Structure 1
Amino acid sequence: MQKRILLLTFFYPPDLSAGSFRAVALMKALRAQASGDVQIDLLTTQPNRYKSFARDALDCEEHEGLSIHRVQLPEHQGGLRGQAWSFLCFAWAVCRFIRGQQYDLVYATSSRLMTALLGALVAAAKGARLYLDIRDIFVENLQAVFNSAAWRPGIWLFEVLESWTIGRADRVNLVSPGFLPYFQSRYPGARFSAFSNGVDGVFVRQFSDSRGGSARGEPLRVVYAGNIGDGQSLHSILPALAEQLVGRARFQVIGDGSRSDELRKALAQRQIENVELLKPVPRKELQSIYERADVLFLHLNDLPAFKRVLPSKLFEYAATGKPIWAGVGGYAAGFVNREIANAAVFPPCDATRAVQCFEQLSIGCVDRSVFAENYARERIMREMAQDVLELLEPA
């Protein structure tokens, strides 16, 4: 008898996000390991993360053992209300799609809890088993950002929703091992795993023998590629860094996000001329950008919740062999110091320490082949797919 899996992910290629890349890697691993009697229905959205990166994708794709359905979301101006409305539209489309359908397993990957909650509701309605992939701690983020008394009832509500969602799951994967203390202390009866993000082979092949791109005597090319939001807080660190490193470094920022306008204004106010802001590009184009870079830059905001995360960008950066300059704390700082050669870590939002750490970098590529092998995404997703498919076996 055919087994059916419902896979929920808000982002999926050609959209650009860590969740998108993760979802497609797991989907490929599931298809490779599942026998012919497993059907996967993947529900996601049309590319919507960045207005500056619009790509057409089919509403429906049919493959052997796989059906992909993309929901067209309404346009919005961003912010919490816009994001909430977009998710409600996605959730409504999911509810319409599953009407009359039966599933043995629901898998949901989620960074802001809501997709996980949706997966839990669907699983409960269908009597299906539930596997959650948690990519961030939404409640803790809310507590850090909205810490006034007015937000306490709302945060309490999300705590209740988190508790019910985690309690409903048969298994919960945490993308960062740094999340384990938070979840294990609150949900001691839950079964947790920690299949992290990983290194994609395309970057290893591209950069294993590459060298620094700037000629001697020219300013070093420092590249940041990724989201520009509250979590990265580039507007609070990059203008000061660029100002202090005039003549020594030129910054190239590739990305977009809720704080991109604020970053642009902060640079203009200081009349910074050694920072170039570029729109998001497909991953294939990042290869040539990384190849020309001398240093790869990463930064997270100085909030308690970010001391638990392990940024997916670290794996991509490390695969290139290029020097990594990272403003991270907590678990991520320990991971970089422990696992990644020729990487300098400074406290988030501390421009003075950042410049001091910049001096410690050795410009040029290093061999990180052992790291790339240990954290190969293909292997990690293969093991995670086995963990997911075990839930299809008789209890």
Structure 2
Amino acid sequence: MRILVLSQYWTPENGVPQRRWSWLSKILVQAGHEVLVIAPPPHYQRRLGLKQWFSRKNILGANDLETGNSGEKILRSGFFPAGPSLTHRILNQASVATSMLFMQVTKRKQLKNFNPDLVIGTVPALPTAVVTQFVARILHTPYIIDLRDAWPELLKEKGDWNSGTGKRSVREIVLTKGPFQLLTALTERAMNHALHHADGIMTTSQDLTEHMERDDARRGAAGARRIRTVRNVFPPKTEFIASDKGQKSSKELNVLYAGTVGRAQKIDNAVKAVKIAQDRGYDINLRIVGDGATWHATKATIESLGINATIEHRVPADELQNIYEWADTALVHLTDWEPLNRTVPSKTYELMSLGVHTTAVVQGEAARLNEELGAGVVVPPENPEALAEAWAALIDDRSKLTVSPSGREWVATQRDEVVPEAFLDIVYAVNNQHEEP
């Protein structure tokens, strides 16, 4: 089978979407399929000025194919440089989506030679869902949407998106009063249309799969699209197994957050929890490693509270082993937006694989997995008092830092058996359904 993948994120960048699709591409290639990817060149993890960006290739897309680490072929689209603000993000995603559409004409020869049997679009970025639908129509192929979060329902939380970013710019204030409201309404409508007409949907949590199946039943469209759970259990960036911190004698607690410091995480909740615990006489050392829209606001909060906490930017993968070994417990952290109840952060699986004790500030399926698999403690989001109490309890009784091997074993089974089977199942099912007379 020949499969065309549309994505706004791809290797050699090192992020969750990139690592997910390097793994899924390898599964497809090893199963004997050809994979062609349309994605922009790496640019999200570096600051790119307009002079550096301005070239025919970056605007219109490349002509030559690259070969990825998983055996996939990559055709690079055009793009506009990304930035931390919502307006920069919107411009960036819109530019990539527009380039992908234009490439159906400008790269028609390459696409015709490939002649895909199936198109898969991975979301976010949000415009990719709509582009995938258009491209599939142009190529007369079925399409699958890889829906990695509870979109478009998360758009309903747009009023709270910037609450953790600190003071907003005048541009953002003006744009969110009207244009942004209109844009999100149009995006939600277009995205729902693309999702409802998709031949298949891949989600990353069972709760989201069941939620979408119930939605199909309410709309009288049960069975019209195939929905499968394809979890984010891609291999971690390091293979070490953490030591048992329940055997360590200490009156301090080292807490690590290594991940996106973004709008949906609102990691300042953890910063406030450290302050509460510190005021009660508990020694907690918080280390935040990552990047995102709320990084600077979080740094300012740490400095204003005067707590034992540091925040640093993303580090290379080969440094993660030492960071994880330092930690007594690691945070998986989301805010209390209702759609996030149907999200399981990929960090959940990574920490289970490495045997690192987890402090899971989550609800829904993510909370249940942590509790059922003995991976750590669960605390409700946006409750710094409860989080401070949970950490104090770990200091008072460090035996609670010992984690069950069940989590590591469960993730390994999901990675090696369950998820590859579910992924190939939906690919074959959608393709076979389309070929039936």
Q: What's the offset of the Cα at 1:128?
A: 0.9
CA 1:332/1:379 → structure 2, altered by over 3 Å: closer, same or farther?
A: closer
Asked if the contact 2:130–2:194 (Cα under 8 Å) also holds between the matched residues in 1, the reply is: yes
Distance 1:284 1:385, change over 3 A: farther
1:275 maps to 309
| Pairing partner for 2:139 from 98, 111, 126 | 126
Aligned in 2, Cα 1:377/1:113: closer, same or farther, shift over 3 Å?
farther
Measure how far apart 1:141 and its partner are. 1.3
Q: Which residue of 1 aligns with 2:6?
A: 8
Change (3 A) 1:367 1:283: same
> Which whole-Å CA distance do the structure 1 matches of 2:6 and 2:246 have between them?
41
Matches of 2:302 and 2:117, distance apart in 1: 52
Contact in 2 for aligned 1:30/1:382 (Cα 8 Å): no
1:265 aligns with 2:278: no
Equivalent position amino acid for 2:412 in 1: E
* Mapped partners of 2:382, 2:343: distance in 1: 16
CA contact (8 A) 1:210 1:365 kept: no
The letter for the 2-side match of 1:88 is A
Question: In 2, Cα distance between the equivalents of 1:377 and 1:47?
Answer: 29
Check conservation: 1:52, 1:256, Cα contact below 8 A. Answer: no
Shift of 1:302: 1.3
Q: For 1:373 and 1:342, locate their aligned partners in 2 and report how far apart those are by CA, in whole Å.
A: 14
Confirm or deny: 8 A CA contact 1:9 1:44 kept in the other structure.
yes
How big is the shift at 1:245?
3.5
Conserved 8 A contact 1:214-1:292 = no
Which residue of 27, 31, 49 corresponds with 2:44? 49
Residues 247-302 of structure 1, C-alpha deviations (whole Å, 9 max, x = no match): 52211111000010110111122122x11112112334323321222111121011
Task: Give the distance between the partners of 2:181 and 2:80, measured in 1 at CA.
Answer: 30
**Identity percentage over the alignment?**
22
Among candidates 387, 391, 394, match of residue 430 of structure 2: 391
Q: Match for 1:48: what amino acid?
A: H
Tell me if the contact between 1:16 and 1:282 (Cα under 8 Å) persists in the aligned partners: no
**Helix, strand or coil for the counterpart of 2:3?**
strand
Which secondary structure does the structure 2 equivalent of 1:325 belong to?
strand
Residues of 1 paired with 2:184 and 2:80: CA distance? 27
CA RMSD of aligned residues (A): 2.9
**1:296 counterpart (323, 326, 330):** 330
Q: CA deviation at 1:172?
A: 0.9
**Residues 195-231 of structure 1: CA deviation (Å, up to 9, x unaligned):** 211152665x410x63339963362221111101110
Q: Which gives a bigger RCO, structure 1 or 2 (Cα 8 Å, sep 6+)?
A: 1
Partner of 2:243: 210
The answer to whether 1:146 aligns with 2:146 is no
Q: Is the 8 A contact 2:264 2:335 kept in 1?
A: yes
Query: Number of residue pairs matched?
Result: 381
**Letter paired with 1:109:** T
Correspondence 1:50-199 to 2 at 5 A: 50-51=45-46, 60-62=65-67, 66-71=72-77, 73-99=79-105, 100=108, 101-102=111-112, 103-146=116-159, 153-188=182-217, 189=221, 190-198=225-233
- Segments of structure 1 that go 5 or more residues without pairing to the other structure are none
SS at match of 2:144: strand
Give the deviation of 1:33 after TM superposition. 0.3
Q: State how far apart, in whole Å, the 1-side matches of 2:365 and 2:71 are.
A: 38
Q: 2:291 pairs with 256, 280, 297, which one?
A: 256
1: CA distance, partners of 2:247 / 2:80: 44
Indicate the residue corresponding to 1:374 in structure 2.
413
Letter of the aligned partner of 2:311 in structure 1? L
Q: Which of 26, 29, 33 is matched with 2:27 structurally?
A: 29
Deviation at 1:304, TM superposition (A): 1.1
Decide whether the 8 Å contact of 1:133 with 1:172 is kept in 2. yes
User: Could you tell me how far 1:385 is from its partner in structure 2?
Assistant: 2.9
- Cα distance change, pair 153–52 in 1 and its aligned pair in 2 (3 A): closer
| Alignment check: 8 A CA contact 1:324 1:343 kept | yes
Contact 1:11/1:45 (8 A) holds in 2: yes
Q: Check 1:7–1:252 CA distance in 2 against 1; reply closer, same or farther (3 A cut).
A: same
Counterpart AA for 1:195: V
2-structure distance, mates of 1:378, 1:75: 39
- Distance, in Å, in 1 between the alignment partners of 2:74 and 2:177 is 43
CA contact (8 A) 1:16 1:49 kept: no
How many angstroms apart in 1 are the aligned matches of 2:234 and 2:155?
30
8 A Cα contact 2:245 2:401, kept in partner: yes
Q: Partners of 1:149 and 1:45 in 2: how far apart?
A: 31
Offset, 1:341: 0.9
